[in-house]
Structure 1
Amino acid sequence: MSDAVSALAGAHSTGMVDLADAGLQGMITLRGDLSSGALADAVRAATGAEVPARRRVATGDRGQALWMSPDELLLVVPYAQAATTVAALETALAGEFATAANVSDARAMVTIKGIEARNVLAKLCPVDFRDFAVGDLRRTRAAQVAAAIWREDENDWRLVCFRSVAGYVWGALATVAQPGGEVGLYR
């Protein structure tokens, strides 16, 4: 068995913002009725978080729950716990119309930190970041590929994309994060 490696192999870049490969992350796609009490209990048991509101992120003591669509969450947990978390979700949701899938190795996560983070993201994403609050999440495009973006705190953001396009997204982010050509929309 080979050792798992992140898609971006620890990449790091500084410029207008600090970009970094978030490393291996446990990511679980959970689909089902988000208003179900059983699903809410399972999410709470897995992450310590509540089921998030539409286009929001809920953070618990063991992970995060990200709203992805009216019937889908992305749970972010420690990488080493993803498989056992999926098994626990399947047990907890037996008899419910729900599915859980470990997508950890099919995704990549980038951290974007700095006061210019919104401006850097605005160069690649068709999103109005003006009222993008801490805990908000959007599924969108980043340089024409699917991505999810959320705001952890004032100057700390996360972007998740498919592993197959991680190098492309990283290159685009690193390019637009270089000084010069500042957008200056969000200050």
Structure 2
Amino acid sequence: MSEAISALAGANNPNGFAAVAELGLHGMITVRGDQADAGFAKAVCTVAGVEALPEVRKCVGTLEGGVAWMSPDELMVFVPYSLVVEKLEELNAALDGSHFLAVNVSDARAVFGITGPKAREVIAKLAPVDLSPEAFGVGDLRRTRLAQIAAAFWMNSEDSFRLVCFRSVAEYAYNLLAMSASAGSEVDYF
């Protein structure tokens, strides 16, 4: 069997006004179901290791154990890559008999980190989202466009974002983020 590798083998650009890095392999399970159902919520939270499901357009936890709200009936569960198959089986067993869909999408996605005091600016130049500190804070998530591609991103700390996109456009996303973070291209809007 072949060895799993990330989309860009950990590409890293620390030289801009914000650092951009591909963060390697992460376990990701897309789960569709009734988020208001207590049994569904409990199963997802148990698998992800979080206390409660995120509110609308929020993310709770980390890439090693967390949940992101993706739509009214869809969540993205983050678990360690090495445990994704086991966690998917656990989720399927816990939800057996209910109406849901859970799919391992780990190898179909790429994950990036954008860090630094001006990380917000990198994303703001690329996505049609109000990223002012008053409108977008830690834990906030948007599923939107990043220039020509679909992406989801959230703020995981005051100076750090996580971004997920399809693996097939990982190189484009990385180049776009690195260009947006290029030294000398600061807008200094925020």
TMscore range, shorter length: over 0.9
**What residue in structure 2 maps to residue 181 of structure 1?**
185
Residues 39-78 of structure 1: matches in 2 within 5 Å?
A: 39-49=40-50, 50-59=52-61, 63-78=65-80
Say which SS state the counterpart of residue 140 (structure 1) adopts.
strand
Query: What CA distance in whole angstroms lies between the structure 1 residues aligned with 2:62 and 2:12?
Result: 27
**What residue in structure 1 maps to residue 137 of structure 2?**
133
Query: What CA distance in whole angstroms lies between the structure 1 residues aligned with 2:89 and 2:19?
Result: 36
Normalising by structure 2, we get a TM-score of 0.95
- Deviation of 1:159 (Å): 0.3
Say which SS state the counterpart of residue 162 (structure 2) adopts.
strand
Q: Pick the aligned partner of 1:86 from 80, 83, 88.
A: 88
**What residue in structure 1 maps to residue 11 of structure 2?**
11
Cα 1:140–1:60 shift into 2, 3 Å: closer
Note if contact 2:26-2:63 (Cα within 8 Å) is conserved in structure 1: no
- Structure 2 unpaired stretches of 5+: none
- Deviation of 1:43 (Å): 1.3
- Deviation of 1:62 (Å): 5.8
Equivalent position amino acid for 1:129 in 2:
L
- Structure 1 unpaired stretches of 5+: none
Cα deviation code 1:83-140 (max 9, x no counterpart)? 1111111111111110110000000000000011111111111111012110000001
Say whether 1:2 aligns with 2:2: yes
Say which SS state the counterpart of residue 175 (structure 2) adopts.
helix
Count of aligned pairs: 186
Runs of at least 4 residues off by over 4 Å: none
Say whether 1:29 aligns with 2:30: yes
Say which SS state the counterpart of residue 10 (structure 1) adopts.
coil
Note if contact 2:17-2:183 (Cα within 8 Å) is conserved in structure 1: yes
Identity percentage of aligned residues: 49
Normalising by structure 1, we get a TM-score of 0.96
- Deviation of 1:181 (Å): 2.6
Equivalent position amino acid for 1:126 in 2:
P
